[in-house]
Amino acid sequence: MGDSLSDNVRYRCSSCGVEYEVALDRICCDCNGVLDIVFSPSAFPSSLSGRGVGLSRYREAIAIDIHRLDDAYLGSARTPILPMGGSVFVKCDYIMPSGSFKDRGAQVLAALSLRLGAKRVVVDSSGNAGAAMAAHCARIGVPCIVVAPASAPAQKLHQSRAYGAEVKTVEGARSAATELALSLASEQGTFYASHVENPFFLEGTQTWAFEVWEQLGDAPAEVVIAVGNGSLFLGAYRGFRYLFEHGLTSRIPKMVAVQAKGWSPLTGDLTHGDAKPLADGIAISAPRRILQILKAIEETGGEARTVDNDAIRRSTTQLARHGLWVEPTSGAAWAGGPGHRPEGGEPIVVSLGGAGFKATGGS
Ligand SMILES: [Zn+2]
């Protein structure tokens, strides 16, 4: 068996096009551009029956050895799609092992850290990505350091500590946490498991689209996803593109990104001032992949919508009263969704990506 990672999978700068080997010390391009993966996925077999419902069900489309992927398996598996009346559905990623969709990407990054022989993993996160990485590092037995802004929700940091991660909090701007993580990552044998920088994270989140396709029998007309750094949004887009290019779907859904009012770089509304975000998972002023997010919106005829805190609170409560206890970031997605649509219309899927326990006392 060949060395599939170094032979067939490379990094390419999304800005200047320079290619690099996939290596522990390659975080972004020398020009500071964000990296994409160069990889030619093969087609799915004509039937996926007989395979499990974990990420490796879609192994042909994921640029990592399946054995490593299985080593990092913590139970992230096909999440339910529930009808919410008419043609509107929710996809319940909040029931993932660590309570958010980030487990999809974290499993792939953990597999990559094994593949690259990392001695420890460093991640900077204000919450769910850190917890997901900490959980998967515990699974593979590699030490994990989570660097978080001091303002990060206590519950999310508590969760990372519970998994055994060392949590370092940093005062000041969110970027200060990134700087410390990068400095720790420069030590030999350290893997910087950033869901923002590392494109392998999107290899994991693209499985969201594959599941939706299997569950509905085709790609839906529209998907609605709360967007901070856009790691689920871009992964889902990548997944639907794969399906479309392999002739498995008739369309790529209209991609709708939802952000909080005042915290929306996609619509140019960054008027939050000193206000503390209610939807903390998507309060990102300058997402690294913003150009890719805007391109996905444009190419699919999608749009970026904003919702205010009252709408987020109302939606979060409304979902809970239907038995779906999610964090405000997911409430934002529902608030930015279509509301009710009549039966028989084209299906619309709203992502509920984070569990309610993540944000106790957060409203
Ligand atoms: Zn570059």
Q: How far is the CA of 199 from the centre of ligand 1 (A)?
A: 14
Per-residue pLDDT reduced to its tens digit, 317-351: 999 999 999 999 999 999 999 987 777 889 999 99
pLDDT reading at 1 higher than 50: no
pLDDT tier at 7, thresholds 50, 70, 90: low
Q: How far is the CA of 35 from the centre of ligand 1 (A)?
A: 8
Q: How far is the CA of 26 from the centre of ligand 1 (A)?
A: 12
Q: How far is the CA of 32 from the centre of ligand 1 (A)?
A: 6
How does the average pLDDT of the chain come out, rounded?
A: 94
Q: Residue 3 corresponds to which tokens in the numbers above?
A: 């060395």
| Position 180, amino acid | L
Q: How far is the CA of 164 from the centre of ligand 1 (A)?
A: 36
Per-residue pLDDT reduced to its tens digit, 58-92: 999 999 999 999 999 999 999 999 999 999 999 99
CATH class of the domain comprising 81-101+200-359:
alpha beta
pLDDT tier at 316, thresholds 50, 70, 90: very high
Q: Which among 77, 94, 82 is positioned nearest to 326, based on CA atoms? A: 94
Q: How far is the CA of 5 from the centre of ligand 1 (A)?
A: 21
Per-residue pLDDT reduced to its tens digit, 248-259: 999 999 999 999
**In the prediction, which pLDDT does 340 show?**
75
More confident residue, 194 or 4: 194
Percent of the chain with pLDDT over 70: 97
Domains 81-101+200-359 and 103-192 share a fold: yes
Per-residue pLDDT reduced to its tens digit, 189-222: 999 999 999 999 999 999 999 999 999 999 999 9
Q: How far is the CA of 292 from the centre of ligand 1 (A)?
A: 15
Strand partners, 326: 355
pLDDT tier at 2, thresholds 50, 70, 90: very low
pLDDT reading at 3 higher than 70: no
Q: How far is the CA of 12 from the centre of ligand 1 (A)?
A: 8
Q: How far is the CA of 58 from the centre of ligand 1 (A)?
A: 30
Q: How far is the CA of 107 from the centre of ligand 1 (A)?
A: 27
Instruction: Enumerate residues 6+ apart whose C-beta is below 8 A from 1.
Output: none
Q: How far is the CA of 295 from the centre of ligand 1 (A)?
A: 18
Mean pLDDT of 95-116: 97
Q: How far is the CA of 102 from the centre of ligand 1 (A)?
A: 26
CA distance 145 to 168: 7
HEC letters along the chain:
CCCHHHHHCEEEECCCCCEEECCCCCCCCCCCCCEEEECCCCCCCCCCCCCCCEHHHHHHHCCCCHHHHHHCCCCCECCCEEECCCCEEEEEHHHCCCCECHHHHHHHHHHHHHHCCCCEEEEECCCHHHHHHHHHHHHHCCCEEEEEECCCCHHHHHHHHHCCCEEEEECCCHHHHHHHHHHHHCCCCEEECCCCCCCHHHHHHCHHHHHHHHHHCCCCCEEEEECCCCHHHHHHHHHHHHHHHCCCCCCCCEEEEEEECCCECCCCECCCCCCCCCCHHHCCCCCCCHHHHHHHHHHCCCEEEEECHHHHHHHHHHHHCCCCCECHHHHHHHHCCCCCCCCCCCCEEEEECEEHHHHCCCC
The domains of the chain are located at 81-101+200-359, 103-192
Per-residue pLDDT reduced to its tens digit, 143-193: 999 999 998 888 889 999 999 999 999 998 888 999 999 999 999 999 999
Residue 22 vs residues 25, 110, 195, 274, 342: alpha-carbon distances, Å? 9, 14, 16, 40, 48
CB of 155 within 8 A of CB of 161? no
Q: How far is the CA of 198 from the centre of ligand 1 (A)?
A: 14
CATH number for the region 103-192 comes to 3.40.50.1100
Q: How far is the CA of 20 from the centre of ligand 1 (A)?
A: 10
Q: How far is the CA of 14 from the centre of ligand 1 (A)?
A: 7
Mean pLDDT of 273-293: 87
**In the prediction, which pLDDT does 6 show?**
52
**In the prediction, which pLDDT does 282 show?**
86
Query: Which pTM was predicted?
Result: 0.96
